[in-house]
Amino acid sequence: MTAFKEQIGPNKDLEIKLTMLKPKVKFGTDPNVVLNFYLGFDVYQKTTKGLKHLVYDELKMLVTFNAAGHSENDRVDINFHTMKLDLSNKYG
């Protein structure tokens, strides 16, 4: 956040918009769901004229969890194992 502080000054209102991109889901593994996706984020500065776009970036993410469905009440219980940056191909 130091770059933003240098660029726009301290104590400025920012807004961040998140998007999920290119999701890939694998079922039947252990844990029983593996989700890879890119987390896109746009950072905006709130101004008197509206939102000013500052930066866009993407982070590769890895989420693993077990999901168990209950047909009697249309409920799914989720037990998260992992939610982290996927750095497996950081330089590739």
Which stretches within the chain are classed as H helix?
2-8
More confident residue, 1 or 74: 74
Percentage of the chain lying above the pLDDT 70 cut:
90
Domain ranges of the chain: 2-85
Does the pLDDT at position 65 exceed 70? yes
Q: What is the pLDDT of residue 20?
A: 95
- Full-model pTM: 0.73
As given in the structure block, the two tokens for residue 30 are 């252990």
